[in-house]
Amino acid sequence: MLLLIVVLVVAGLALATQVGVALIERVYPPQGRMIDVAGARLHVVELGPRDAAGPPVVLLHGASSNLRAMQRPLGERLAARRRVILIDRPGHGWSARERVEDSTPEIQSRMIMEALARIGVGRAIVVAHSWAGSLGLRMALDQPDRVAGLVLLAPVAYPWRGGVGRYNRLVSKPLIGPLLAHTITLPLGRLVAASGARGVFAPQPMPEDFVADSETLLLLRPREFIANARDLVTLRAAVSVQAPRYAEIKAPISIIAGDADKTVTTGIHSRPLAATAANARLTVLPGVGHMVQYAATDLVVSEIEAMAERMAREVVTAQ
């Protein structure tokens, strides 16, 4: 009898998850176009004039999110003068990857660079937040001729002590992970989505419409939740491999981080990176947490604009 009850509960949760996924995807459909690359199909949104002066600006989001986390605070502002490309990282938002194991910055860098080439983007300024900081750095290491500059917001760059949450480790495991993701993740996630987002914003207040506007609930779909967990679980080993090479990066790097960031500690990541990379400059914002693009939007936009204008002038001078 107990076994029957368990089976019925699991079946009910699985059905509720399927219905919930369908509803979430109806509310938050894709906004851009799909680009097929080796191992993935990437969702790309383009804003602004294609013939804008200076290199295009590529915006890359961090973990547990999608391109909307960069579009509202930065993309729409920058598009007044720049060509802006926003990409759902492989496995996130409306981007799909063929293998959940393709979770590292190295692999995702290759996929994103291929997508950019397919839409005619050569050199670009890469703006990356949090998890994607390691991705932007990997892009600069692997294809330095195509990364004109980096603007890194609260970036992950080095290995850290501790873990990434027990639930992420469980969900990234075979069998138990898919079972959890297809039953309890969505109903539980809906209950804690707002409080979890508020914790990432702290000590700044979270915008009232953030969960809806950022389409955060897309994360609760099983395939995306598993991909996100895998990204987090494998990241520490990945940055351990690439961190010794940061001195090779010649592109200018602007790092903006908050000294109150409890998610990606500035002392572990941003400060050592600024001391290692040859052309890096660090701005530490007092009292600011992890969501730098929301807490200091004007500063971030002005930093990107300044880098783009400097590079446009260099092109004119070279001619």
- State the Cα–Cα distance between residues 10 and 55, nearest whole angstrom: 51
Does 8 map to a domain?
Answer: no
Segment 305-314 mean pLDDT: 88
Does 44 map to a domain?
Answer: yes
| pLDDT score, position 163 | 81
Does 3 map to a domain?
Answer: no
pLDDT exceeds cutoff 80 at 226: yes
Query: Binning pLDDT at 50, 70 and 90, where does residue 317 land?
Result: low
Burial class of residue 76 (count of CB atoms within 10 Å of its CB; 0-12, 13-18, 19+): middle
Identify the domain containing residue 126 by its residue range.
34-161+236-318
User: Mind listing the pLDDT tens digit for each residue in 269-296?
Assistant: 999 999 999 999 999 999 999 999 999 9
- Three-state DSSP at 150 gives strand
Does 207 map to a domain?
Answer: no
Does 310 map to a domain?
Answer: yes
Does 53 map to a domain?
Answer: yes
- CATH code of the domain containing 260: 3.40.50.1820
> pTM of this prediction?
0.95
User: How far is CA 26 from each of CA 20, 30, 70, 214, rounded to the nearest angstrom?
Assistant: 10, 10, 21, 15
User: Mind listing the pLDDT tens digit for each residue in 42-86?
Assistant: 999 999 999 988 899 999 999 999 999 999 999 999 999 999 999
Does 135 map to a domain?
Answer: yes
Average pLDDT taken over every residue of the chain: 95
Segment 164-190 mean pLDDT: 92
CB-CB neighbours of 152 under 10 Å: 31
Please give the tally of structural domains in the chain.
1
pLDDT exceeds cutoff 80 at 3: no
Does 261 map to a domain?
Answer: yes
pLDDT exceeds cutoff 70 at 318: no
